[in-house]
Structure 1
Amino acid sequence: MQRLTNRLMVLLFSFTLCSDLTAAPVHAPCQKVVNRPCTALVLGGGGARGGAHLGVIRQLETQKIPIDLIVGTSIGAFVGGLYASGHSPDDIEKILQTLDWGAGFTDKVSRDEMPLRRTQQRDHYAIRLDIGLGTDGVKVPKGLLLGQAMAELIQHAYGVQSANQHFDQLPIPFRAIATNLRNKDTVVLAQGSLLAAVQASMSIPGVVQPMRLDGKVLVDGGVANNLPISVARQLGATRIIAVAIDAPLREEAQLDSAFAVTEQLTGFLVRQEVEQQKKLLTADDLLLEPRLSGIDTLGFEKMGLAIKAGHASAKANKAKLATFARPESYASWQQVQRKRLDNQSQISKVTLHNQSALADEVLLERLQITPGETYSANQLTSAIHRLYGLDQFERVRHQLSMQPDGSQELLIEAEDKSWGPGFLNFNFLMDDDFSSNRRVQLAASYNRTNLSPYGAEWYNEVAIGTDKLFSSELYWPIYNSGSFVAAKAYRTVGTLIVEDNEGLSLGDFIRQETVLALRAGMNLSDDAQLSAAWLDKSGRYQLPAFFANSFQSKYLHFTRQGPELKLQWDSLDHPSFPERGIKLDLSRQWLDDIFRGTEASSINTSLELIAATSWQNHRLKGRWLDQRYQSADGDIALEQYSLGGLLNLSGYPRNYLYSSALKFGSLVYMYKMHENRFSFFQSPFYLGGSLERGWVKDSIWQAANAFSADWVWAGSVFLGWDSPIGTVMLGYGQAQSLYSEQNQQLYLSIGQWY
């Protein structure tokens, strides 16, 4: 009687779900199964706990159990889709163990994948809120993550996949479960892009931006049905093996983070639905609930333990699983399941669905895909990286469509950020040596993009605090040639604290300057830019009392005009803790100066070179800096350069030594100690030390006279944190006491690049 009741419940529940299964005819996947019951494998959601699914699959293969249908939610869709598309358990284990899961939890484009202009903007404004600001008000993204990195993670795991296929045509028929965000209905994905279906099933609401497929806005399937037994029944499954891996409710002591609380609240709703789904199982079915204690939803580093737990759970039910076995026909079934996976595609055509303000030719130029050539999945992913690296798009999708001759059409869809085209970002800077020197600055940038089809933009900056900045720039690319023109006006106010050899303050040395720069240049590559500019500068120095007495004036006014030539190259993957790359910043200015009624000509030269390398968790960075002001006519230097501060002649206060000429070299070692790989903010810690040597000209003002000065040795030890608001450093430095008795300093800084 009980068994009959269960059957009736199954039929009734299945009937109520018919409206959600419009993607495929009812029972279609199981109609091909003859001479045996149709067996479905139902894989639930649970994040990193999903490694258990692979452990179960291994035992199924050991016992020669053919699977006729796979239905998966979230991580269950990810693992199930791999098995359904022809991957062996060994293939899947390699993917699960080697995949960079942490990369899926950040949409941040790597620094060395962005154009130089975007790199510089990101360096200066590390708090990347990307708030949309325009005439229609303030707008924000729909999730912490846009889903681009998640899409690339899935692409890397699955390889080349066709965009238009019915999932019944896979070696094992497959369904992915998602949730309709509008009404919380279960959505069964049965055709189209397998990669998009899996991503929709894994898009955690509020964390990953929803996926739009077939007119529906979709989020993680676990919201509606985390163990889709009812779907397998509706599709005709006679017998079901269901694997439930949903996280248990946490104890009070474990509710120690916002994510833990959110997961607990979500768990209440998910568990209710899962319990209802379990009631649909009959005595002919099998429910596996692996013991996964100690493995959190984001604990992907414990994926191996989850695999073992899944295998142990299945093995413990070996007797029941034996009733599913079909040893006489298993070999022929497996031959079909082990589909040959071709990871190469000959691209016959590139079709671009450009939903952005940029011209098609800009996007196609960055893709660098030539029709007729063959590309691997990794090469296609790299092409998408180049396009997404413009930091212009909300999401860039690519799909492959099979042509009659066996070649593939590459379909690219690029969407502008829906909360743009004006974006607001911030930076907070604090620098303290626990003595008399402290700098604090709060800065904001506003970038109005999409002023032309080739990427013109209006970029504005405001900074208040110890140092001040007001800047506005119009940047205008000349078609798609790589050339550009730019007009920039800015005003800076900088303060240097003057101290005697015993560290006693002698007052502030304040420089105010207004600059108009008209620039033309060429972007030689994403890493390199060559430009020339005409500069018009005017400003004044506000002198401390002991200087003011010498010049019989508190203020010294100046004007300067002339050309500038600049070469920039930057391939570092991080501004403070690089693993690889080179940075070169070379500029030279030829200026006509007017100062206190005297005219003079000057040459300003600045060279900075940084090179970085790494092995395992070790980082090594070298830096050379050479800056000088040269004038044969005047006796006062209008350009002041400075040393002092952590990793900038450690031991002295920041900007303590300043002059018209300096040289500095350093070698910095860093060890990467810890990184939160599976979080929205991957924030590693570094322990490091430095060896430094610097030189400054003895005289601040007498530009025409070359004074000899001794080189100063310095060194430091520090703890660094690559935090969500920029580099945080706590360090101790010591230098030779050539210039001051205050040659030992403890430093704390936030938001300052090193």
Structure 2
Amino acid sequence: MDKPFTVTLTGTLRQVMTVFLLGTVFSVMCCPEPVQAQGKGSRPRVGVVLSGGGARGAAHVGVLRVLEELRIPVDCIAGTSMGAIVGGLYAMGMPVDELERMTTQVDWNEIFTDDIPRSSEVYRRKSDRNYYLSSIDFDLEHGVRLPMGIITGKRIDLFLRSLALNAPDDFDTFPIPFRAVASDIVTGQQVVLSKGDLARSLMASMAIPGAIAPVEIDGRLLVDGGVTQNLPIDVVREMGADVVIAVNIGTPLSREENLTSFLSVLDQTTNILTNRNVFAQVYGSTAEGVVIEPVLGDITTASFERMHDAVRAGERAAMDRADELERYAVEGAVYDRHRQDRMSRARPVPRIEFVKMEQRSFFGSDALLRLIGIRAQGVMQKQILARDIFQIYKRDDLEDIDFEVIEQDGKNGLLIKARERGRTRHTVDLGIELSSDLDNDNSYRLLLKYTMSGLNALGGEWKNEIHLGQNERYFTEFYQPLSPYAWRLFVAPYAEYRDNVIDLYERYDAGNPFATYDIQRTTLGMDIGIQMAEYGEFRFGYAWGRSKSALDTGFQALPEEENDEGAYRLMFVFDQLDSPFFPRDGMRFSSAYHYSRKNLGADDDFETLECAFTGAVSHERHALTLRARGDTNFDTARGISRGFYLGGLFNLSGLNTDQLYGNHVAYGGIIYSYRILDLFPLLGKGLYAGVSLESGNAWSVRDDVDAADIVTAGSFFIALDSRLGPAYIGYGLAERGVSAAYFSLGAIRF
């Protein structure tokens, strides 16, 4: 009788019963070379099965390395999710060392997002994301379309495509025949993928339901194979395997004391369902073989930074079963011939000698290629290729992009296929801003932006914003580029209405305000400018309007006003921060100059200048942010509507929001933060703890500006950077014993 096919399943089952096999040889009549039936006396055909499990799947690489060291030939492979990625790339000929580099050195947190690095994003879209947190696309024909996943997965798709450039369409012609397992989200059936686009098949096998949008293949909507079959032993049996070496890296069931939240209960539910289909595969199989379960401890499906540890765990687990595995080993010379034959059938990575663009877009090929800096000649750097092409995809005027290797006149080339959006795009962006000092200073704003883009061949767009709450804003702008290039001229007529509520406090009294003013401003204007690709924007324009300030409650400290306004304005922004909320690298500088004159339509002559700077550096989990700000009206303006404000969390912490008022403001601050917890990329970035040290003040008259008046303040805080936006809980303390606690959801304006 053959040695049992043993398996240890996680969770409440400490050890699984052994299943004895009858020892009969399984025959497959229709399996293609090289896993067709062999004659009597030949070695058994070995099939490897790799389960899904996210970052834990790096353990598969360690197991494959040990199988090679033990000289165990692999005749076919089937995999699910991360097991499909590792198995598919290995089957098409990727060496184990390269597989390990791929799994351990790639930034998976970046790949599992639809975002390009913020520093590389076109400035206009970058500025939108400073305050708006989510987007919904719709069209007039189909109405509102909620996304089928938190991310589309396009970045993952391009990454996999760059790795599978040399993969044949028939998975049976791989050096090792291969199958990827996915699930039909419509019927709930298991789907075994044996041909077609390898990258797309791998993408389908790992499309986590709800997190990554389903992948359509042959008219079926496919999601992660773990939904139906996380350890597809039956698939390699159908491929002709006599012996099955299965690697299960599924997450163990949690103990009762660890089920402490609804998230842990949801996670446990998923693991129960997955472990159940694994259990059914193991006990339902009559195959001879071994199930290997690496001990991965606290390495979770999202622990991408620990994939190196997972590789080592896979090696240890396989070596622990070496006595059983060696039954399927062959002599050195036999294994060498097997390996040489396998590698001889692997297609080499193509040498790219030209790059072509095939697009249905008003952009010329040269213009699109310049956006990413693709250059021909030589073997492509795969990850760089995927990253650069993704940069094109993130342009708002393109709906999709793909690439493939083509042959022309005996030369290999890269064909990039870009498809422009076929109709006007309608987008709704949503945001929220809540802030409270947990005492008497509370405010909220709901943010809504509606944009119609792709209105003409040059990418004209109409943007409309509504901010509801304590400070209302209504804004509309028609933005018309004058060229198709990344650096391009534009014109932008606009109209704006603001209704702001301003509280006035005794200078260092954090109690109730002694007066509240309502300031209304209506503005019509026209700007011309230059969009400097991802770097920023320059604008020059004329604005005319009316402003009115009126006492709402309390004592009248300043006169009520009603003014006509007419001015030239000059604005410049350079923005290369990697995040508007929790920056770790880069800098941002902005300035705005307002030149108002009677002959331009204003009631009086005055000027204002506003400048702000933010810079950030980081090391591992530590980050340091420097901030500075200076505003002045040169003592040329008077009135509550033309002054500047300072106060609030990170803006002289300890004071109420906008507690200090004056015609001149100076501020400097430094914020230290430490990332204490990483979030799964689909949920956000992480949880932070930090402290800040700040100084500044506001003065009414320039002659009163004195360094001796500088107010020193600081804070300590806990902050969350999530897909729903930033959230802060902090406590601030300023000079003279002024202090405040803070809770904030949404962007903190600086």
- Asked if these proteins are the same fold (TM beyond 0.5), I'd say yes
Q: Which residue of the partner structure matches residue 543 of structure 2?
A: 535
Residue 480 in structure 1 maps to residue 484 in structure 2: yes
Q: Which residue of the partner structure matches residue 519 of structure 2?
A: 511
Q: Which residue of the partner structure matches residue 697 of structure 1?
A: 699
Q: Deviations over 1:82-141 (max 9, x none)?
A: 322333334333433333333344323332121111111111113x15354756432200
Q: Which residue of the partner structure matches residue 145 of structure 2?
A: 139
In the alignment, residue 513 of structure 2 is paired with which amino acid?
A: S
Judge conservation of contact 1:358–1:453 (CA < 8 Å) in 2. no
Judge conservation of contact 2:529–2:537 (CA < 8 Å) in 1. yes
Distance 1:614 1:684 in 2: 15
Q: Which residue of the partner structure matches residue 20 of structure 1?
A: none
Residue 562 in structure 1 maps to residue 567 in structure 2: yes
Residue 30 in structure 1 maps to residue 35 in structure 2: yes
Deviation at 1:338, TM superposition (A): 5.5
Distance 1:745 1:266 in 2: 43
Q: Give SS of 2:533's match.
A: coil
Q: Which residue of the partner structure matches residue 600 of structure 1?
A: 604
Judge conservation of contact 2:577–2:616 (CA < 8 Å) in 1. yes
Q: How does 1:268-307 map to 2 (within 5 A)?
A: 270-271=274-275, 273-278=277-282, 281-282=285-286, 284-290=288-294, 295-300=299-304, 303=307, 306-307=310-311
TM-score by length of structure 2 reads 0.86
Q: Which residue of the partner structure matches residue 18 of structure 1?
A: none
In the alignment, residue 451 of structure 1 is paired with which amino acid?
A: L
Q: Deviations over 1:260-288 (max 9, x none)?
A: 54555555655555455445644644444
Residue 525 in structure 1 maps to residue 533 in structure 2: yes
Q: Which residue of the partner structure matches residue 378 of structure 1?
A: 383
Residue 427 in structure 1 maps to residue 422 in structure 2: no
Q: Which residue of the partner structure matches residue 702 of structure 1?
A: none
Change (3 A) 1:442 1:54: same
Distance 2:699 2:20 in 1: 95
Judge conservation of contact 1:512–1:539 (CA < 8 Å) in 2. yes
Shifted more, 457-466 versus 186-195: the winner is: 186-195
Q: Give SS of 1:82's match.
A: helix
Distance 2:747 2:280 in 1: 54
Deviation at 1:247, TM superposition (A): 4.1
Deviation at 1:520, TM superposition (A): 1.5
Q: Which residue of the partner structure matches residue 688 of structure 2?
A: 686
Distance 2:267 2:409 in 1: 47
Match of 2:58 among 47, 51, 62: 51
Deviation at 1:569, TM superposition (A): 0.7
Q: Give SS of 2:642's match.
A: coil
Q: Give SS of 1:219's match.
A: strand
Q: Which residue of the partner structure matches residue 22 of structure 1?
A: none
Shifted more, 408-417 versus 486-495: the winner is: 408-417
Q: What are the ranges of 5 or more consecutive residues in structure 2 without an aligned counterpart?
A: 3-18
Distance 1:196 1:566 in 2: 45
Distance 2:246 2:553 in 1: 82
In the alignment, residue 497 of structure 2 is paired with which amino acid?
A: R
Residue 466 in structure 1 maps to residue 474 in structure 2: no
Judge conservation of contact 1:7–1:282 (CA < 8 Å) in 2. no
Distance 1:708 1:469 in 2: 33
Shifted more, 80-89 versus 365-374: the winner is: 365-374
Judge conservation of contact 1:28–1:235 (CA < 8 Å) in 2. no
Match of 2:217 among 213, 219, 224: 213
Q: Deviations over 1:22-44 (max 9, x none)?
A: xxx74244249896443222222
Distance 2:448 2:25 in 1: 60
Shifted more, 508-517 versus 429-438: the winner is: 429-438
Judge conservation of contact 1:358–1:452 (CA < 8 Å) in 2. no
In the alignment, residue 745 of structure 1 is paired with which amino acid?
A: A
In the alignment, residue 387 of structure 1 is paired with which amino acid?
A: I
Q: What are the ranges of 5 or more consecutive residues in structure 1 without an aligned counterpart?
A: 16-24, 700-704
Q: How does 1:500-649 map to 2 (within 5 A)?
A: 500-501=506-507, 502=509, 503-543=511-551, 548=556, 551=559, 555-593=560-598, 599-630=603-634, 639-649=642-652
Q: Which residue of the partner structure matches residue 322 of structure 1?
A: 326
Residue 62 in structure 1 maps to residue 64 in structure 2: no
Change (3 A) 1:105 1:262: farther
Distance 1:362 1:99 in 2: 29
Distance 2:31 2:343 in 1: 26
Deviation at 1:462, TM superposition (A): 1.2
Q: Give SS of 1:378's match.
A: helix
Q: Give SS of 1:584's match.
A: strand
Q: Which residue of the partner structure matches residue 734 of structure 2?
A: 735
Distance 1:331 1:163 in 2: 23
Change (3 A) 1:336 1:643: farther
Q: Give SS of 1:609's match.
A: strand
Distance 1:752 1:7 in 2: 66
Deviation at 1:323, TM superposition (A): 2.9
In the alignment, residue 715 of structure 2 is paired with which amino acid?
A: V
Judge conservation of contact 1:689–1:716 (CA < 8 Å) in 2. yes
Q: Which residue of the partner structure matches residue 716 of structure 1?
A: 714
Distance 2:272 2:658 in 1: 56
How many pairs align? 723
Q: Deviations over 1:414-454 (max 9, x none)?
A: 58599x93222222212223443222222222222222243
Q: Give SS of 1:407's match.
A: strand
Residue 450 in structure 1 maps to residue 454 in structure 2: yes
Deviation at 1:541, TM superposition (A): 0.9
Q: How does 1:172-251 map to 2 (within 5 A)?
A: 172-250=176-254
Residue 667 in structure 1 maps to residue 670 in structure 2: yes
Deviation at 1:304, TM superposition (A): 5.1
Deviation at 1:322, TM superposition (A): 2.6
Q: Give SS of 1:207's match.
A: strand
In the alignment, residue 618 of structure 2 is paired with which amino acid?
A: S
Change (3 A) 1:276 1:638: closer
Q: Give SS of 1:612's match.
A: strand
Q: Deviations over 1:503-552 (max 9, x none)?
A: 4532112211011121121112211211211111212011367875874x
Deviation at 1:580, TM superposition (A): 1.2
Q: Deviations over 1:700-745 (max 9, x none)?
A: xxxxx754445413131222332333332333333345xxxx7333
Q: How does 1:340-351 map to 2 (within 5 A)?
A: 345-351=351-357
Distance 2:602 2:449 in 1: 38
Match of 1:85 among 92, 116, 132: 92
In the alignment, residue 729 of structure 2 is paired with which amino acid?
A: L
Q: CA RMSD in A?
A: 3.7
Q: How does 1:356-371 map to 2 (within 5 A)?
A: 363-370=368-375
Judge conservation of contact 2:53–2:301 (CA < 8 Å) in 1. yes
Give percent identity, aligned residues only. 28
Judge conservation of contact 1:133–1:422 (CA < 8 Å) in 2. yes
Deviation at 1:259, TM superposition (A): 5.3
Distance 1:310 1:708 in 2: 66
Distance 1:417 1:147 in 2: 21
Deviation at 1:163, TM superposition (A): 6.2
Q: Give SS of 2:55's match.
A: helix
Change (3 A) 1:358 1:459: farther
Change (3 A) 1:746 1:227: closer
Change (3 A) 1:389 1:733: same
Deviation at 1:402, TM superposition (A): 5.0
In the alignment, residue 698 of structure 1 is paired with which amino acid?
A: S
